[in-house]
Amino acid sequence: MFDGNWRSAVNRGLDPIGAVLCRMGISADAVTIFGIAMATVAAVVIGRGELILGLVFLILTGIPDALDGPIAKAAGTSSVRGAFFDSVSDRLCDALLFGGVAWYLGSTEPGRIFMLPMALMAAASLVSYQRAKAESLGLDAKGGLMERAERFVVLGAGLAFSFVLIPVLWAMLVLTAATALYRFAKVWRQADSLHSI
């Protein structure tokens, strides 16, 4: 949803910040690595039950993710290698964050509810894979109700108000699964129309 409606506008707003950071000598790769480090800290902090502090580090994970593209653009270093590194780092950060939530739930909740973030991570990975595979085939798989930006925002709400964390995770899982189904149908229709030409 974010990619389809606001990504271009947000990127235009971040371009001046990317240009300033570029002039300061900060590279896109360095910002991406910083984001991975923040996700690692967030996972540990969340796992230890310090959810508000985890929210702070979640925000510090999201900021570099938003800025690495504008920095690369300002530096003129946008490349396939950079896009690959950014995409891999996104998946790694997702795994770290959901792993931290699973650690927290495993330490504080009875039963197997700690598997909920793992199911969510699997669904999120499927959503990301669908887009990557579709784009490699020259098709478009963008869109859906629960993309990465939305997952960050909703997870942040769950961390801020821990009493709704589990319901928030269930809602994220349902909406992420719906996004996967939407993307599958979207790509299927595109592929079908190409096949019929």
Catalytic residues: 90
Q: Closest Cα partner for 145 from 154, 158, 136?
A: 154
Burial class for 106, CB neighbours closer than 10 Å (0-12, 13-18, 19+)? middle
* Angle, alpha carbons 191-134-28 (nearest 5°): 160
CA–CA dist 71, 26 (Å, integer): 8
Tell me which residue of 9, 126, 113, 99 sits closest to 45, measured CA to CA: 99
CA 112 to chain centre: 25
Cα within 13 Å of Cα(112), Cβ side: 3
| Sign, Cα dihedral of 133, 194, 144, 120 | negative
Question: Which residues, including other chains, have CB under 8 Å from residue 82's CB and lie 6 or more apart?
Answer: 28, 29, 68, 72
